[in-house]
Amino acid sequence: MIGKMHMSNGKKIFACCDKNLLNKSLVFNDATIELSPMFYGNAKITKKNFLEKINDCDSANVFGKKACDVLISKKIISKDSLLLIDKVPHIQIYNI
């Protein structure tokens, strides 16, 4: 997995995607989603580090089967909450 923490208006936004998705373009309706290193980073992260960042952020943007499977296995999300974008699992998480 690849991940990067961002700060925006005092809020932590964590972006993560499976490594094999980096630099890919996904199509959703009329929109194209670019999984770029500028947003998702290029640093590999461990499962432990991924979970720490998920627990420490205000919101998260996650793409990929591997990353979403970790969230499902830890009961952070349910499989029913996933959105498939170009056949790739995606979830946005908001910690309120």
CATH number of the domain encompassing residue 30: 3.30.1860.10
Percentage of the chain exceeding pLDDT 70: 99
CB 61 within 8 A of CB 84: no
Torsion sign across C-alpha atoms 83, 23, 44, 60: negative
* Over residues 43-56, mean pLDDT: 96
- Asked if residue 54 has pLDDT above 90, the reply is yes
**Does an H or E element contain 14, and which?**
strand 11-17
Domain containing residue 74 = 2-94
Decide: 14 and 53 in contact? Cβ < 8 Å: yes
Give the count of domains, the chain: 1
**pLDDT at residue 17 in the model:** 98
**DSSP states along 33-75:** EE--HHHH-S-B--HHHHHHHHHH-SEEEEESHHHHHHHHHTT
Confidence band (pLDDT; 50, 70, 90) for 95? confident
Q: What is the pLDDT of residue 19?
A: 96
Distance (Å, whole) CA 57 – CA 71: 14
Would you tell me how many other CB atoms lie within 10 Å of the CB of residue 87? 7
